[in-house]
Amino acid sequence: MSPALGLPALVTVLALITYQATALNVGRARVRHGALGFLWVGGRIAYAVGYLQEAKKRGPGFGIAFLASAVLLVMALVGALRTLTAG
């Protein structure tokens, strides 16, 4: 292999390792916090069904999805702050 190709190949391998590690961490988080994600999806489905029936019926679905999003956002912020303060 040409020395000129060595650095791009190394950068590519390191990027793939980073991608794989990130994917594994996301998978672990989905297992741990998956119920909130499913609750959010359920809220969005309820929103869509309510909207298709009558636009005024979309409130409960919006509320469920909004609360799940808010909880997930707070959990993400707490996790980020804990990581930043621990290191």
Distance, in Å, from the CA atom of 15 to the CA atom of 10, rounded to the nearest integer, reads 9
Give the model's pLDDT for residue 40. Answer: 85
Give the model's pLDDT for residue 66. Answer: 93
Number of domains present in the structure of the chain: 1
Distance, in Å, from the CA atom of 73 to the CA atom of 64, rounded to the nearest integer, reads 14
Burial class (CB in 10 A: 0-12, 13-18, 19+), 14: exposed
Range of the domain at 37: 3-86
Distance, in Å, from the CA atom of 52 to the CA atom of 58, rounded to the nearest integer, reads 9
pLDDT tens-place values along the chain, 87 residues long = 566 778 888 999 999 999 999 988 888 887 877 788 888 889 999 999 999 999 888 899 999 999 999 998 998 899 899 999 986
Residues in contact with 17: Cβ distance below 8 Å, sequence separation at least 6, in sequence order: none
Give the model's pLDDT for residue 39. Answer: 87
